[in-house]
Structure 1
């Protein structure tokens, strides 16, 4: 089958349309660069950097980690490489965001050119895709961008290759299409939709061109691409099921439908006219769109106008609209089934970070729709100064609206406590290393930076793993220090959540020897957590002891001769502390002390 580009191209158009397209991409990159360099590490970004600092970059455990339901080895590899080159330096991630956006934008331009050629109408879907705020959240958050941007680049590339394969019969497009699909899967499992999107785009292009059996024709003409992609997909599904814990799936259909409706009313529809204009944020959550009624009404009006005009102007356009609506629903339902429950806030649907692929699909489907033949009764919509003026003004207003939404997003995205915490933390750790040779007790970062559910990536030893000018992190220390909620170094003490009961031996407490371990009862039980114990002891020589809660992990603690004190981090639960001497001839007397959390002494 031969799917030809629709529309003849005047010689002059071939000159200014590509130049304008390149200028639009350059403007988008300038805007996105400002957003990228004004951003900073946020939440999952620190999980990526922490794992890069504590695991081998080429190890299977690192590359094929279940990252909150994602399988993304290539994203891990890029994040790890950038992190190793410049730990906790935002310049590297910011540059990578701009580069990935350039690749995605150029891939989309190629796909639009393959569909439309250098017709002026190419600039309409391109402008929408480049500037709509629907793609902002997934771009600005580094961890999300490492998923989304390579995926949409692969999507646009495979769609273009599929069209060229069916159009020319050149089998090299089947090879490059499969490679692009495989690359996309390495960044984001959602790339599994790419072959289906590509098939739909090519089939719809054949349909609007007048092929009555478009699906059958496209399947036969591109069988090598479709078969190879399906084989790759089946293999990748096997890998995904081996890596990912499927217990996180929810089947709360009511909440899923509510989230889907909210994403349409507060996300997609306002985004069609450059909304939402306004964003809100409660740290540590990511920003969510809060469009005023004005932009929501404008979005619905614009959608209705485009729908009516397209039906009046174009033939065989119905299936294109159904595909757009279907993908808008299908691209979100699996995510909401994984992320939602009866306790999920509807603002999740307003974060918009699940919509960048929808932007590309809408742009490609718009290009396909523009290839449909005009109706004889719509000659009044033919090219004229009035039509040109209306399109130019509408496009300019859309870009202006989008840039305003981008500016408001940029402002609220910078409200991020991570920057000051990491900068203060680096300076504090350098100060701690200069002031004492003692290791620093490993501890959790402030919950606004990473919460306990991200353990162990929320520990200082992971967040600051690759920083050179710092003390060693350990499970025990003789010099108790902590970082406060802003990352400043403070002297610390252990709170008296529980206390060790007095021992039975006068002037000793509990005697611990290699052949005589001791169990020190607490004055009450401890729930599972990361506890810190203050051990006051008297030892007869250098050596080590093993300490643990009665239901917890064992920690090896060095001891010195004489009367000393050591602070030990004890993960677990229970109502007693078990102490075992490891060194031959070592005798240790352990007195009473507190077990609790760290608190500043100041």
Structure 2
């Protein structure tokens, strides 16, 4: 087989596809949910609870195991993390090639659907984002494996292949909730193309000849569904299925099924927009969308002229898009906003099904050819259902070659332009700065929490985007504890937007207090000071105390029900003391020793890089153009008037 020309060209196609995927991965890097995964693994043990926890509606114990393993071996190590996904993606392409060979035999025509899947732009965005690839890439491999072993089992009846089908389905269920619909896909595929007779007769054949196999598939589906529902009820509120909003759901489905899929499946969109931190979305131009539908319509019509039963293939594709891609996405995201449907990762797996359907719509399986040669034994004789061999002339082969090359060029260009939307350099630089900073932390420095930039982790993730959560996987155990639970310290440090650990301070605009104009120290009542403040709370909240003291002195910070007792070191020339306190309340209270301590500053709230605070103060001091002056321009205008 290695010396077969069809096989050799097929391997060349796989090699080209692999090179394109490597290029995309070289332009990508960890972003968004990737940080959340590493942080969760770093703060947890490898327990059933960790593996079975839902993540934004995804049930994926296999993915969580890979996350834990990656964090243990090399947190935020891109080459190994992305390389694992690349190997699985290439494996899915190779298994798909084997599936085509198994279904149709050796044919030059196999190279067309192989090219369609191997170079599919729909599979690129999901591969370039590690968190998304953890679901989608293993699932694509499981689909290809399950289809391949189903074909082998139904042809040979060998029990070992039935168990391999079960293993492939279970493998998919470990990574993606969509695998719930993998057994129905196998049944529809087998009934439509492997069992003899019409659809109803084929269903009867299936449950008569292979009752135990298909009953097992039904049981597997129901068991997985029960497990998912149990985990959803046991999980965090909001991490799972939701009640869709009708307008949002309709918009989401329209974008997925009528825009993203046809354009991406046929080599588009050429240009990706809008661009998000995770890469470009697919909101195609009107001409590109119209052209995609025209091409798709021509393909469908041509297949129906070649094969009367081609409609089965297209019905299979439509059903998969609706039931495996659109409806699950609506259930999970249908209460957010319809623009979510422009994300191609939700239909990435449909690229494999589309390529398979393309082959089934034009090519005859071995089963169909065998039944034709034996006179369709066991089937009702209907001359309209007889195969109509189509002699493909040189023009047809040339046209197929040209169309395939055009698709390959379009898909390659779309892949290139998608890579241009990625911000891997920025993300690499950020984490490189974090690594360098964590290697040089002063022993007495307080490392306080601050949200990482929006292009690293989006704001709506709340406390999960704090530096004390997402950056600790890069720290050693002792330093990680200082970040998780910071202690009072004489100096404060936070990570700036470039990933550098820098000196920090409190903003002066809110919840900050200084002595009266003619006083050097804060007024107090036997050491008691209290202020009304805006409520912040949370891990990033820090009480900042500026003071002078000739000797060590006691300090108590009280916010709501939280009381922190600490000791102020002597500071004859003045100093600051930073006390983390997470309680949320509208009253901020200090207790000090008035005979030892002169408090010159107090504030409560998140800290910010000192350089940012200086820039903010400078901008406030600079008057706006035209705001101040001697009025000469106004006098001139009056004179002219």
What's the CA shift string for 1:67-113, capped at 9, x where partnerless?
A: 11112121111122123222222111121121111221122223222
SS at structure 1 position matched to 2:535: strand
Cα deviation, residue 128, structure 1: 0.9
* In the alignment, structure 1 residue 228 sits paired with structure 2 residue 211: no
Note if contact 1:201-1:364 (Cα within 8 Å) is conserved in structure 2: no
Task: Name the counterpart of 1:534.
Answer: 544
Inter-partner Cα distance in structure 2 for 1:125 and 1:287: 26
- 1:465 pairs with one of 459, 472, 479: 472
Count of residue pairs the alignment pairs up: 572
Matches within 5 A, 1:555-574: 558-560=566-568, 562=570, 565-574=576-585
Note if contact 1:521-1:575 (Cα within 8 Å) is conserved in structure 2: no
Distance change >3 Å, CA 273–CA 380, structure 1 → 2: same
* In the alignment, structure 1 residue 163 sits paired with structure 2 residue 151: yes
* In the alignment, structure 1 residue 448 sits paired with structure 2 residue 455: yes
Task: Name the counterpart of 1:498.
Answer: 511
Inter-partner Cα distance in structure 2 for 1:329 and 1:555: 56
What's the CA shift string for 1:123-149, capped at 9, x where partnerless?
A: 222211111211111111111111011
Distance change >3 Å, CA 453–CA 255, structure 1 → 2: closer
Note if contact 2:29-2:424 (Cα within 8 Å) is conserved in structure 1: no
Distance change >3 Å, CA 261–CA 546, structure 1 → 2: farther
Inter-partner Cα distance in structure 2 for 1:61 and 1:578: 40
SS at structure 2 position matched to 1:291: coil
What's the CA shift string for 1:259-297, capped at 9, x where partnerless?
A: 221223431122232100001244435411243333323
What's the CA shift string for 1:576-597, capped at 9, x where partnerless?
A: 246799xxx9x99795611123
Task: Name the counterpart of 2:486.
Answer: 475
Note if contact 1:207-1:316 (Cα within 8 Å) is conserved in structure 2: no
* In the alignment, structure 1 residue 29 sits paired with structure 2 residue 18: yes
Note if contact 1:538-1:561 (Cα within 8 Å) is conserved in structure 2: no
Inter-partner Cα distance in structure 1 for 2:389 and 2:49: 63
Inter-partner Cα distance in structure 2 for 1:580 and 1:241: 51
- Unaligned residue ranges in structure 1 (runs of 5+): 1-11, 513-517
Identify which range, 133-142 or 489-498, moves more after superposition: 489-498
Using the size of structure 1 for normalisation, the TM-score is 0.85
Identify which range, 454-463 or 374-383, moves more after superposition: 374-383
Task: Name the counterpart of 1:515.
Answer: none
Task: Name the counterpart of 1:82.
Answer: 70
Using the size of structure 2 for normalisation, the TM-score is 0.80
Inter-partner Cα distance in structure 1 for 2:116 and 2:522: 79
Larger radius of gyration: 2
* In the alignment, structure 1 residue 316 sits paired with structure 2 residue 306: no
- 2:446 pairs with one of 414, 439, 448: 439
- 2:193 pairs with one of 202, 205, 216: 205
Inter-partner Cα distance in structure 2 for 1:154 and 1:124: 22
Cα deviation, residue 168, structure 1: 1.6
SS at structure 1 position matched to 2:349: helix
What's the CA shift string for 1:353-408, capped at 9, x where partnerless?
A: 01122112222333333227798999795221111100000000000000000000
Note if contact 1:13-1:118 (Cα within 8 Å) is conserved in structure 2: no
SS at structure 1 position matched to 2:126: helix
Inter-partner Cα distance in structure 2 for 1:246 and 1:20: 51
- Unaligned residue ranges in structure 2 (runs of 5+): 370-383, 612-641
Inter-partner Cα distance in structure 2 for 1:544 and 1:233: 64
Matches within 5 A, 1:278-297: 278-284=271-277, 286-297=279-290
Q: C-alpha root-mean-square deviation of aligned residues, in Å?
A: 3.4
Note if contact 1:33-1:94 (Cα within 8 Å) is conserved in structure 2: no
Inter-partner Cα distance in structure 2 for 1:216 and 1:335: 32
Distance change >3 Å, CA 155–CA 214, structure 1 → 2: same
Note if contact 1:131-1:403 (Cα within 8 Å) is conserved in structure 2: yes
Inter-partner Cα distance in structure 1 for 2:346 and 2:416: 20
* In the alignment, structure 1 residue 181 sits paired with structure 2 residue 194: no
* In the alignment, structure 1 residue 365 sits paired with structure 2 residue 361: no
Distance change >3 Å, CA 528–CA 33, structure 1 → 2: same
Task: Name the counterpart of 2:292.
Answer: 299
What's the CA shift string for 1:282-314, capped at 9, x where partnerless?
A: 443541124333332321121111111111111
Inter-partner Cα distance in structure 1 for 2:175 and 2:553: 48
Note if contact 1:25-1:105 (Cα within 8 Å) is conserved in structure 2: yes
Cα deviation, residue 508, structure 1: 8.7
- 1:250 pairs with one of 239, 243, 251: 243
What's the CA shift string for 1:301-354, capped at 9, x where partnerless?
A: 21111111111111223232222112212221221232133x6252x2222001
Cα deviation, residue 457, structure 1: 3.5
Inter-partner Cα distance in structure 1 for 2:11 and 2:31: 31
